[in-house]
Amino acid sequence: MSLPETAATGVPLTRRLFSALGSSAALLAAGCSPVRLLNTLAPDRLAADGIAYGADSRQRLDIYRPAGIPPFPVLVFLYGGSWDSGARGIYRFLGGAFAAHGFMTVVPDYRLFPEVRYPTFLQDCAAAMAWTRRNIAAYGGSSAAPTLMGHSAGAYNAAMLTLDPALLEAVGLSPRHDIGRMIGLAGPYDFLPLDTDELRAIFGPPAGLPATQPINHADGGNPPMLLLAGTADHTVRPGNTVRLAGRIHARGGPVSYRLYPGVDHLEIVGAISGALRFLAPTFGDSLAFMQGDA
């Protein structure tokens, strides 16, 4: 069984323009970047804004609803931001894009450092999944297990929920029954040793660090996974993707990975926008995988 890779072509000037989105989710959230334009151009599919899945003000989610007759297959998207920044409203372009192609899309916020540390942000993501499984049918979502997708730190969160059963079991779910498929975009899956004081503060004492790494939970029993990364990503090295895919494959689990030549850390998620889809085939590859065609 091979682990397929795919090529992508792009336009350097537009890549530089997209890079102006900034290096952190905090910049995007400030509204001082082209992300406002991406969201303005996106299909307007927001159906519910700020639904509570917990008591904290960060435990809120948005739902994007397709046109047509329900039930709709469900996608849950976890954004990145180094576990210290991010906001669900930044990703209206993503929710609108997938909803326009038939997927009811749920985008939750979760608590961040320094308010919380590992594993609390994972517990929030698990709680958002539990809310989705128990409530999405009332909004027109299918009862079938959703696809779980994440970018950057959000891809880490998604991988941990997929590979470490204890996280979902704590909320009455299981990866085998409650995650249909998982898609990771530019995720950190195998990043020891921790190289910044903030990461050491987020993930805790060295003795417990192996358990924080998705690669160490890969046992081959996972639902199908698609891991995507760009070769020009200097924020999260694509080796994370290659190593996790290799470990899952060695354990007999269903996984494929693709590396997009010349694509960087922001472009891989920005390419989901209809305006930037030529930067990388992220959107098409993700749709094909969710539809069972890849």
Which CATH number does the domain housing residue 19 bear? 3.40.50.1820
Inter-residue contact 236 to 189 (CB < 8 Å): no
Amino acid of residue 157:
N
The residues with which 256 forms a beta bridge, in sequence order, are 226
pTM of the model: 0.90
When pLDDT is cut at 50, 70 and 90, the band that residue 200 belongs to is very high
User: Is the sign of the CA dihedral 245, 250, 256, 260 positive or negative?
Assistant: positive
Contacts of 42 (CB under 8 A, 6+ apart): 92, 93, 94, 95, 96, 97, 273, 274
Q: Is 109 contained in some domain?
A: yes
pLDDT at residue 28, rounded to an integer: 41
pLDDT per residue as tens digits for the range 274-293: 999 999 999 999 999 999 86
Q: How many domains does the chain have?
A: 1
To the nearest whole percent, how much of the chain has pLDDT over 90? Answer: 83
When pLDDT is cut at 50, 70 and 90, the band that residue 42 belongs to is confident
Q: Is 260 contained in some domain?
A: yes
pLDDT at residue 190, rounded to an integer: 98
Q: What angle do CA 113, 114, 120 make, to 5 degrees?
A: 50
More confident residue, 209 or 24: 209
Domain that holds residue 198: 12-290
Q: Is 7 contained in some domain?
A: no
Is pLDDT of 3 > 80?
Answer: no
pLDDT at residue 258, rounded to an integer: 98
Q: Is 188 exposed, middle or buried (0-12, 13-18, 19+ CB in 10 A)?
A: buried
Q: Is 40 contained in some domain?
A: yes
Mean pLDDT of the residues in the chain: 90
When pLDDT is cut at 50, 70 and 90, the band that residue 234 belongs to is very high
Token code pair at residue 77? 């998207």
Q: Is 4 contained in some domain?
A: no
pLDDT per residue as tens digits for the range 9-40: 334 434 444 443 443 344 344 444 567 778 78
pLDDT per residue as tens digits for the range 99-131: 999 999 999 999 999 999 999 999 999 999 999
Q: Is 123 contained in some domain?
A: yes
Q: Is 151 contained in some domain?
A: yes
Q: Is 243 contained in some domain?
A: yes
pLDDT at residue 25, rounded to an integer: 42
